[in-house]
């Protein structure tokens, strides 16, 4: 936990030294990282929700030969 605090302090110090326009770029970058995480979570949730429906299509005798590939 202490290492996280040190890293956070070091990062805050670096941000404080940036000119305002660079701080905006840092903020945009952080927002894009957060959006990527949200997008990944939504994609994973959608995949999990579709599994029961797709299971009927994937798991059938006609397609059993493909299970061994």
Domain of 33, in residue numbers: 20-68
Chain centroid to CA 30? 12
Per residue in 11-66, pLDDT tens? Answer: 999 999 999 999 999 999 999 988 888 888 888 898 898 888 888 777 777 777 77
pTM over 0.75: no
- Look at residue 4 and tell me if it is in a domain: no
- Look at residue 14 and tell me if it is in a domain: no
- Look at residue 41 and tell me if it is in a domain: yes
Q: Which two tokens stand for residue 7?
A: 């890293």
- Look at residue 3 and tell me if it is in a domain: no
- Look at residue 1 and tell me if it is in a domain: no
Chain centroid to CA 45? 12
- Look at residue 8 and tell me if it is in a domain: no
User: Please, are residues 9 and 17 in contact by the beta-carbon 8 Å criterion?
Assistant: no
Amino acid 1: pLDDT? 55
Amino acid 9: pLDDT? 94
Domain count, the chain: 1
The band of 69, judged by pLDDT with boundaries at 50, 70 and 90, is confident
- Look at residue 7 and tell me if it is in a domain: no
């Amino acid at each position: 936990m202490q290492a996280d605090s040190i890293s956070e302090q070091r990062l805050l110090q670096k941000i404080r030294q940036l000119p305002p326009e660079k701080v905006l770029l840092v903020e945009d970058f952080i927002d894009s990282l957060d959006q990527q995480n949200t997008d990944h979570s939504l994609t994973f949730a959608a995949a999990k929700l579709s599994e029961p429906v797709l299971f009927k299509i994937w798991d059938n005798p006609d397609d059993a030969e493909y299970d061994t590939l």
